[in-house]
Chains A and B, each alone.
Chain A
């Protein structure tokens, strides 16, 4: 597993370090650049961490006006619509790894020359080496490693003091009765269903590719289908858990972190078989030159070693640069140690999956149709 070295590096290197101030002299001048940018991201706690870590510092240094669009869950549709209309209104778009693959495959995103376009690491490592395994295709500038995992309520009377310890508690309605929240997409759900149907990790995608593999996963999901609330935005699960509407549910680990640590909800994490994924930027094709210059200038700043490390102080996602990892330490306002909440912490990654981007890029279209049809039956 290529990702493994990166993951363990994050976990080991949680040393406190200060000094994240950015000064104007650090920034190279930007020639022929527009003074506005439209950034598309996910909203919520994640976008807030981006604003605090680099968008606001950049705006302060340069006086550029930054507009946010919270449309990342429909990023490809919006980019495609803008591209067909011949008017690319977005400067930079935050997408998950698989979506970046799609944008790249469909020619919607610019290809990035890592060593030329991006800053070298603080220790001088060239960007392409610093990002390492996180570079999943030539259009994608990774920012963070995140995981999709489960949270459960710690005060469910019906469970008689039992606590879910492994993933398959999701499918165990007898020991752990109550509603569950799952994402309204096939990805991850199918893998989890197969894991709990007795398929070993190594054979997951062989089974999924084989005839009837997807149906087998859906049949497993059928066993809990009427006990599931389907979510499409990452913020829904923490809300549903906090309201007591569901007793367990999947979401991004940073969202659960906010609910548990910042809002003190009676929720705990179930890290078993968390799925690792990357999130990062793509530069949409079809921008005029001044706009593109501005974006590349910002991108260079926003993905340097210090800025990526800064972001991890606001949300518990691991920075995608190896050189940023030693700089991640304590939460920016709460002052707590971030390590136990990082998906990359060894204690949290006894069992894990890494999103198989190639398989999903190839099979997304077919599986998505099967899943949505299954859902509406």
Chain B
């Protein structure tokens, strides 16, 4: 079938519809973009932190590479080159102040790692000091920073640097470049010196021509010359005697062979065991399941996934507590809200409106004010206890503990969430014609049967809507449990807030948050299967 302009009718219909759809999309575009930019994107970014683990590979690149060949399950610490790699990584990390962050990160997985890295970070500067001293003893020229730049620097860089120094302007020094000769014949020296020069220029705002290089550079040089005594051939004639002197001293045994393994073990004996190394190795990939495992009280070890120590197992317990308390709150909301909603739906409009204002008034009051009011009411010297003591229901010495425990959380949250139960119930009950009840009664039903068999089934969609609202709000509640829950009445959300604000373990907070989101979605799905989301009515 063809349209008037000769195109197939289906096609021209589609085109017209597409235009309409596009217009609709344009209309909702502001809101859609707003939600994407301010809600979905930040949440996505935050949740991504639960698997992101760049810090280990970024902070310890050499160590991670060196550990690749080490078997974490062997139970023996790795070989000397790994210790050397860690020393060079730590020198950079200490200068950039990233070793403390790494320590904090690995401390999540193995308690004590933070102090280990901080302590070793203070000592690493002195490791290999004896080699530098021996080198200076051979020839004092090695104590001059400029010696090193002219040995290892690219000729073009040396010229550029000299021009820059002459100009004396405020522009930054040209970034240091290693010469090809140095890189080829003195690889260990070049690697260490390259790191050193970069850190000096970018972090410390110093020139490598003015600072004595790290001990690692001296260690690298002696090692390069030991493995390749002919390395001096690659350099100009002025270097031949200097490097030859080192080779000679080396052969005479005047240069100590530093054991970084021994130096690390001296700094902290933990380094002489396999444990810290296996932690680094296990958590070196850029993505980790560590945070999620932690969120369900498990941890990753070289042997696989294992449960955490008893004293560290809290999250499953907190998740369960959150569920149970939220269910209890939903239950009390139904019990208290149902009669109120029924009254609202069945009274004269004028009285009902007055009652409705009473329901809505707390709804409009600040959450913090209401919670603080409960603090005043519930505390041991508070209004409720005073009344009970005054009426002799409770002895003065035996006042009820209604706050800073789970009771406090349930009471305060029931009050705060009650309107979310009453309002959907009310709007559903409003639609149930009173004539049904009258009809049931005229057919001989008792009051109870008329209610239970006729009225109640029709109000179930309201209960469903109210319960789902209250339960989902309760499960993620934070401020009220924090203020009235004490130590035992807090939810998983309080723990998430703690990790965001105080412990700064954002990865774990993101993992716990993701789990909470998944739990809510699963519950929603289960609810849909059992009750059916179509049966939920908000009015």
Contact = CB atoms under 8 A, between A and B. Distances in A.
Interface stretch (A52-60, A267-275, A356-364): A356-364
A243 B379 contact: yes
B504 A76 contact: yes
Contacts of A80: 504
Contacts of B318: 376
Interface stretch (A28-36, A290-298, A366-374): A366-374
A144 to B, nearest CB: 23
Nearest to A229: B404
A377 interface: yes
Contacts of B101: 106
Interface string A156-168: 0010000000000
B312 A369 contact: yes
Nearest to A179: B380
B14 interface: no
B498 interface: yes
A198 to B, nearest CB: 23
Nearest to B381: A244
Given A243-B381, A366-B111, A373-B311, A77 B97 contact: no
B103 to A, nearest CB: 7
Nearest to A376: B314
A206 to B, nearest CB: 14
Interface string A44-88: 000000000000000000000000000000101100100000000
Contact of B379 (A74, A245, A364): A245
A71 B504 CA distance: 15
Contacts of B97: 105-107
B114 interface: yes
Contacts of B111: 365-366, 369-370
Nearest to B114: A365
Nearest to B101: A106
Contacts of B380: 179, 244-245
Contact of A229 (B108, B314, B397, B486): B486
B59 to A, nearest CB: 13
Given A229-B486, A377-B314, A245 B504 contact: no
Contacts of B502: 74, 77, 368
B380 to A, nearest CB: 6
B381 A370 contact: no
B: contact size bracket: 35 or more
A77 B505 CA distance: 10
B311 A365 contact: no
Contacts of A368: 502-503
B104 A376 contact: no
B47 interface: no
A24 interface: no
Interface in A327-373: 361-366, 368-370, 372-373
B347 interface: no
Interface string B392-428: 0000010000001000000000000000000000000
Contact of B501 (A74, A366, A372): A74
A366 B498 contact: no
B9 interface: no
A11 B151 CA distance: 60
Interface in A232-250: 243-245
A362 B311 contact: no
Contacts of A369: 107-108, 111, 312, 503
A365 B104 contact: yes
B194 to A, nearest CB: 22
B539 interface: no
A373 B104 contact: no
Given A245-B380, A376-B495, A106 B100 contact: yes
A230 B486 contact: yes
A229 B381 CA distance: 14
Contacts of A363: 114-115
Interface string B289-328: 0000000000000000000000110100110000000000
B495 to A, nearest CB: 7
A12 interface: no
Interface string A104-115: 011100000000
Which of A230, A362, A363, A374 gathers the greatest number of chain B CB atoms within 10 Å?
A362
Nearest to A361: B118
B516 interface: no
Going nearest first, the 10 A-B pairs with the smallest beta carbon separation are: A107-B97, A365-B114, A362-B115, A244-B381, A365-B107, A105-B100, A366-B111, A74-B501, A77-B501, A362-B118
24 contacts: A77-B504, A106-B97, A106-B101, A107-B96, A107-B98, A229-B404, A229-B486, A230-B486, A230-B487, A243-B379, A245-B379, A245-B381, A363-B115, A364-B114, A365-B104, A365-B111, A366-B107, A366-B115, A368-B502, A369-B107, A369-B108, A369-B111, A375-B487, A376-B487
Given A77-B501, A107-B98, A362-B119, 12 more contacts: A74-B502, A77-B504, A105-B97, A105-B100, A245-B381, A363-B115, A366-B107, A366-B114, A369-B108, A370-B111, A374-B311, A376-B488
